Structure 1
Amino acid sequence: MNTFKNKYAIVTAVNRNFSRQIIQKITSMGLTGLILADKTINEELIQKITTQTGCACHGFEFDITKTQTIEQLFQFALEKFPTVHILINAANICPTTPLEELDAQKWDECMNINLRGAHLLTKEAIKIMQAQNYGKIVHIASIQTSRINGLPPSVSYIVSQGGLITAVKYYAKFYAADNININTVSPNFAGMRDAEEEHEGIKSVAATVGFLISDEAKYITGANIDVSGRSCYCNRIF
């Protein structure tokens, strides 16, 4: 399958389970070039991707809270490849700090990673995509923004993810004319019955992301896709 032949992508937070599944999905669909961005470079993963798929793969060490390293990420991508067509951002944290312990520092940490970082990544990606009149951006958000029950994470997390979903609707509206599709995918793995069900959920996240960055989804932008399976509709702790 050559869906992404001659396409170049950046994926962040590549050491997470669903990020690995997303990478496997898009490289199996003929992706030509890939930048893996995370706090540390995973040379073993890079070698595996290159050997098994033929996709040119490079690692970049970056800190999503630092504007300079986000700018350097895209500079690095343009040094390695002709352009960037796809950005998949999975970088976020999910604190469980209760309200009475949630001080300004902890609030800001969550916002800086989950919302500010996502904005700066989008900003840099759009510069490239707007110039070529083409681009696909997917941010991983959370089902918790719309279905809070059971034992929810910190309010800072919920607000940051809700803010991201809203921001994406704004980006999508203002860059639709530039042929840039920008969406969010909101998974939920909590409360799944077993490892097999969780694995199936992760595969569904990867399949959804793969669809959204393909030209089959060219009329989908500003959407938030819930990928939660039965976990949000069963009477289990959430």
Structure 2
Amino acid sequence: MKRPIIALDFPSKNEIALFLEKFPVEEKLFVKVGMEIFYQEGPDIVKWLRSLGHDVFLDLKLHDIPNTVKQAMKGIARLDVAMTNVHAAGGRKMMAAALEGLREGSGNSQQIPKLIAVTQLTSTSEEQMNREQLIKVSLKASVVQYAKMTYQAGLDGVVCSALEVELIKGNIAPDFICLTPGIRPRNSAAGDQERIVTPERARKIGSDFIVVGRPITQSENPLMAYQQIKNEWNGVQ
């Protein structure tokens, strides 16, 4: 059964530990470690989560000159994460360097983490993209262009809205990974997300991974919320 990726957007390791106590020890989760917690706790937070048996998507969205990103990815590879990412806006050369860094850092004995690229953030509207980024095409056209660059650089897939999954897979390849944040169960607040869908719709659209944060982490019963989303994501009644 596919697992939703839980966004551990907490300010400290202690708060994550309290959250994880609400799950059975044998329930091995797929969790997202983002900038909020990584910049407080550093790489040790990833090592600790891996020691508990959880898989980690390290969501740092690297975006810098190619050599800097390559060297950073060498270090990330040694953290034994399942997946990590960059910003596609960094360009093909930067993305290719990121992949090279992961391969060099992983060596021969370790599986290379999946590497995906952010297209347009799910908090970004088309009007905002046009006005602030001065990208004078449609949001979908921008996303497809970034996805094509990502594929050409040799990466595994992209972070995108579930609303763009069919378009991306149709323009690139059915097995090109589409990881989709902005997932909200029915009757859940949108928060700061603009382009959101339910877990059920994400499954039908063809998302390969979904990321869910506040609907689980801020729930009065996180385990129940997680199980309900997991069932909906897998089409279990």
TM-based fold match above 0.5: no
Using structure 2 for the length normalisation, give the TM-score: 0.40
